[in-house]
Amino acid sequence: MERYTAAVVQMASGPDRAANVARASALVRDAAARGAKLVLLPEVFAWRGPRAEEPQAIESIPGPTADAMAAVARDCGIHLCAGSILEAAPGDRRAYNTSCLFDPAGRLLARYRKIHLFDVDLPGRVTVRESDTRVPGDDVVAVPTALGTLGLSVCYDLRFPELYRRLARAGAQVLLVPSAFTAPTGAAHWEVLCRARAIENQCWLVAADQTGMSPHGFADWGDSMIVDPWGTVVARAADGEGIAVADVDLAAVARVRRELPALAHRRLE
């Protein structure tokens, strides 16, 4: 499909998994009703609570949340990237932070386990040690689909351009970035990073973010957006929960890469 509508879903998820999954499902259905063929949920859309309670939120894939999202994708006939789910890691008390991609038949096309973990201390603003409760993944995941080749990533990955270059080299035309970006780092860097990853890889970039107050005591940034291969923000979510939609034209990827063939000019790998 050369041209189609994509949607980002912005949420303020909390510690009630059933409520979060129900809200996510309703927002995805709303996006599909507006014509979206590709829908992206934010990172940890199904559960956000105190770090000490995370072991009780870990689940398998397939499992309750993945099964619910597969059903929504099937009911709506869409490709759905289910943000991220806390996936059980065999032999470890911690979890993978795993993004799942479902096709219109509800089949799990791919899973991506977040590679880069957010261990940051900004005094007086944000202190997070994601590695205390999460296990890093290893695999770069680019998935050929009827909507083009989709490159999977999660949140903090956005700061590591080498991942996105590897996705582009693997054929990615659309980069997916489910996120829970903090307000301090988001205000400074979110849009710049989203646009940079789109520009330097000459890809569409679809980024869905959490909004509101996180359970860890700091605000999330929101500002979910869709960016074209020239780096223009073509859709942006309003404050609070909701969706934003834009048409994705894969011909724009080919055109930008032809007219400004920077990827073909690489001299360093």
Cα 54 to Cα 129: distance, rounded to the nearest angstrom: 13
From the candidates 155, 194, 203, 241, give the one annotated as an active-site residue.
155
Cα 244 to Cα 134: distance, rounded to the nearest angstrom: 30
For the record, the structure tokens of 168 come out as 């582009």
From the candidates 76, 87, 114, 241, give the one annotated as an active-site residue.
114
Cα 190 to Cα 158: distance, rounded to the nearest angstrom: 9
From the candidates 37, 43, 59, 100, give the one annotated as an active-site residue.
43
The Cβ of residue 162 has, within 10 Å, a number of other Cβ atoms equal to 8
DSSP per-residue string spanning 43-97: TT-S----GGGHHHH-B-SSSHHHHHHHHHHHHHTSEEEEEEEEEE-TT-SSEEE
Q: In what helix (H) or strand (E) does residue 167 lie, and over which residues does it extend?
A: helix 161-169
Cα 13 to Cα 260: distance, rounded to the nearest angstrom: 40
The Cβ of residue 126 has, within 10 Å, a number of other Cβ atoms equal to 18
Cα 102 to Cα 51: distance, rounded to the nearest angstrom: 28
Rg (CA), the chain: 17
**Residue 63 main-chain phi, psi, to 5 deg:** -175, -170
For the record, the structure tokens of 114 come out as 């977040």
Is 259 designated active site?
no
Is 37 designated active site?
no
Is 203 designated active site?
no
Contact between residue 202 and residue 256 where contact means Cβ atoms under 8 Å apart:
yes
| Positions marked catalytic | 43, 114, 155
